[in-house]
Amino acid sequence: MGKVLIIGAGGVGTVVAHKMAEEPEIFSEIMLASRTKSKCDAIAARIGCKNLTTAQVNADIVPELVRLIRSFQPDLVVNVALPYQDLTIMDACLETGVSYLDTANYEPLDEAKFEYSWQWAYKEKFEKAGLTAILGCGFDPGVSGIYTAYAAKHHFDEIHYLDIVDCNAGNHGKAFATNFNPEINIREVTQKGKYWENGEWIITEPHEIHQPLTYPRIGEKESYLIFHEELESLVINFPTIKRARFWMTFGQEYLTHLRVIQNIGMAGIKPINYEGKEIVPIQFLKAVLPKPEELGANYTGETSIGCRIRGVKGGKEKTYYVYNNCSHEAAYAETGTQAISYTTGVPAMIGAMMYLEGKWEKPGVFNVEEFDPDPFMKALNSYGLPWYELVNVDLEFE
């Protein structure tokens, strides 16, 4: 039994609140707080659970967070606001003596830079305070790291090659929309590509490397090598990895829109002056794009995200593919959001449950693969994200 404060009332926050509200034995009191309180109230009204209250907070301001945390006194803060708020929320947790969980690594507002250094720098502070910080507990990052830890524990003596494959074969019927926060999404996918090989990072031009990959129940989809934050911690936590890459599918229509958006300067993150007012192009773009949480109603098809791993077990080469497919329609029917929010929110809820049940509780700052994957993997099957394994199959990579 524990009290949890969720910060952020977007698509992911909606799913976290839904899933927690269904488990009152574990989450005895839930508070959903965000910058716009009316969004929290609308979610709470839809869920209709008496243990769920709402509040307003600007998570950029540490004293505001501290006041809210002191008044509610949660056991854990679940941060599903934006990556920009990670450090202020971690600071507030340290000041109030509360543990922390998030789903995306910190990014400075004025620089699209994905690395864990800022949050790892809090390790000693969390250790000294006897508090736990669980980083990147969505699907990817999140389940991708847990799948890898599970493979290392049960299937391999050494993992040598890791490919995380993320396919969204859904159709929302819009010419262009992003499946989670547009600003964060566009910053992520327009970055240079980067992967780990033989002890160093190899940088590529954006979307330079691509190949068709075949996804279970979906078929062949063109998949693009991009950098994704979990690669950074996985190559450290599994040092036998010789090569680690991340692949994501994009449709031609999406890539064409993205190219135009970049070419005309709408993906810019530096403020410009427009008629005497400073605006950030990508933030303005976000305001006119479809809202991710509103895509769900007509979304068909499914996602397929997994890890394809090659390594050795008992002196023999082995391949292993572990994955989940998630239907947009089923996610919407259950929570009113599409599969991208669902596949992020469910792991965040399970991570919170792992902490409250004492299964993932230790002082310091950790990426998810540093915890025991077994109870988490079991919970994925019970809470809507069942996983499947294929052993010694063709992984399609040379």
List residues near ligand NDP by CB under 6 A.
Answer: 7-13, 34-36, 39, 57-60, 80-83, 85, 103-104, 138-142, 180-181, 184, 292-293, 340-341, 344
CB of 334 to ligand NDP, least distance (A): 16
Residue (290 or 375) nearer to ligand NDP, CB: 290
For residue 305, the SS3 value is: strand
Listed residue (90, 94, 86) closest to 114, CA to CA = 86
Check: CB of residue 310 under 8 Å from CB of residue 243.
no
CB of 43 to ligand NDP, least distance (A): 9
Question: Rounded to an integer, what is the distance from CA 269 to the centroid of its chain?
Answer: 21
CB of 227 to ligand NDP, least distance (A): 14
CA distance 321 to 164: 10
Residue (10 or 74) nearer to ligand NDP, CB: 10
Question: Rounded to an integer, what is the distance from CA 181 to the centroid of its chain?
Answer: 11
CB of 166 to ligand NDP, least distance (A): 9
What's the distance, Cα to Cα, between the start and end of the chain in Å? 49
CB of 82 to ligand NDP, least distance (A): 5
Tokens representing residue 134 in the block: 């669980």
Would you tell me how many other CB atoms lie within 10 Å of the CB of residue 227? 22
The pair phi, psi for residue 308, each rounded to 5°, is -110, 120
Residue (156 or 305) nearer to ligand NDP, CB: 305
CA distance 327 to 298: 12
CB of 287 to ligand NDP, least distance (A): 10
Residue (126 or 139) nearer to ligand NDP, CB: 139
Residue (145 or 311) nearer to ligand NDP, CB: 145
Closest residue to ligand NDP, based on beta-carbon distance: 10
Task: Give 206's contacts (C-beta < 8 A, 6+ positions apart).
Answer: 189, 190, 191, 192, 193, 226
CB of 258 to ligand NDP, least distance (A): 17
CA neighbours within 13 Å on the CB side: how many for 365? Answer: 22
Residue (60 or 91) nearer to ligand NDP, CB: 60
Residue (111 or 200) nearer to ligand NDP, CB: 111
